[in-house]
Amino acid sequence: MTSVVSGSNRTIRIGSRKSQLALVQTHWVREELQKSFPDITFEVHTMSTQGDKILDVALAKIGDKGLFTKELELGMINQEVDFAVHSLKDLPTNLPEGLALAAITERENPADALVVSEKHKDKQIDTLPAGAVIGTSSLRRLAQLRHKYPHFTFKDVRGNLNTRMAKLDAGEYDAIILAVAGLERLEMSDRIHQVIPSDISLHAVGQGALGIECRADDTELISLLKAIEHPQTRDRCLAERAFLRVLEGGCQVPIGVNTEINGDTLTLKGIVASVDGQRLVKDTITGAAKDAEQLGSQLAESLRQQGAQEILDEILAEVGRDS
């Protein structure tokens, strides 16, 4: 194989979804790599994924493992692209044989954001009126917010960020919940009405970070991609992904996390909730950041013993009945 780092003749093909947010993220990765490796040509190739095409069905109904990644992964396996840029929260914790998570970039704010309609500009999430219609396509957000605010009405919302904003502004919703990171990357920070505190809603595994996936045997490319990896974000996200992997939940299962690193110490909070918000199992673990994946696995086992597995089994059985 031609050396990626020293060989100036190689063109590296980057796979991306076609959505506006995906392209912003992919071009950011391309520009960062171009700064480090000016002699290499990086080309962006776009693909539509199943999740981009099915916009009229709730994610929880169709199952979302690989929903936004499968076509990109096939592109890598078939040598059509060399690596793919994903929102890490969309990337399943078990990757196809022959592919590897090569790098994780520095995380943006992983919190959820409250975006409100014009008539509620004077409100925060705690002061929205009873019966307020809240849009979210995430069972994780739904379960945690139902627990805290049983007096709200929750309604599914799909589509890209612009589509969701248009539905909000047209009056279909009183507020919608979106990721802070996505709004910031699309320069829509002015629509963030409130950053939702973690004691109300723990964020999704990997939220706010980008995951770069490539063929596992392309060692020179993996070495190149490490140039844009952020070690603290990597350790935090590896702990979160191990937590999710042990619980065998996709991101459409109500599993939330929060991680912090202080010095060499990592603290991971995890939650598993029932969809109706009635039951929450929550715990925290602290240990050495170098043992990130082990900490995530240990926390998952702890929550299992506290009743999380029973909640997850019920949700999976319900999804099976509805499919």
Q: Which two three-digit tokens encode residue 6? A: 């020293």
Which of 231, 200, 202, 196 is CA-nearest to residue 115? 196
Amino acid sitting at position 301: E
- Taking the C-alpha atoms of residue 217 and residue 97, their distance in angstroms, rounded to an integer, is 11
Name the residue among 158, 168, 178 with its Cα closest to residue 62. Answer: 158
**Pairing of β 11-17 and β 83-87:** parallel
- Among the listed residues 90, 174, 218, 235, the single catalytic one is 90
Angle 255-257-263 from CA coordinates, rounded to 5°: 160
Instruction: Return d(Cα 158, Cα 203) in angstroms, integer.
Output: 19
Our CA angle for 92, 143, 312, nearest 5°, is: 55
SS3 content of the chain, % helix, strand, coil (to 5): 40, 25, 35
- Spatial neighbors of 286 by CB under 8 A, at least 6 apart, are 265, 266, 267, 268, 295
Q: How far apart are CA 188 and CA 65, in angstroms?
A: 28
Residue 101 DSSP code: E
Place of tokens 């480090």: 36
Q: Which residues contact 284 (CB under 8 A, 6 or more apart)?
A: 267, 268, 269, 270, 299
Q: Could you confirm whether 322 is annotated as catalytic? A: no
Residue of 29, 96, 44 whose CA lies nearest to 69: 96
Question: How far is 135 from 174, CA to CA, in rounded Å?
Answer: 8
Q: What does the alpha-carbon distance between residue 27 and residue 44 come to, in Å, rounded to a whole number? A: 8
Residue positions annotated with a catalytic role:
90
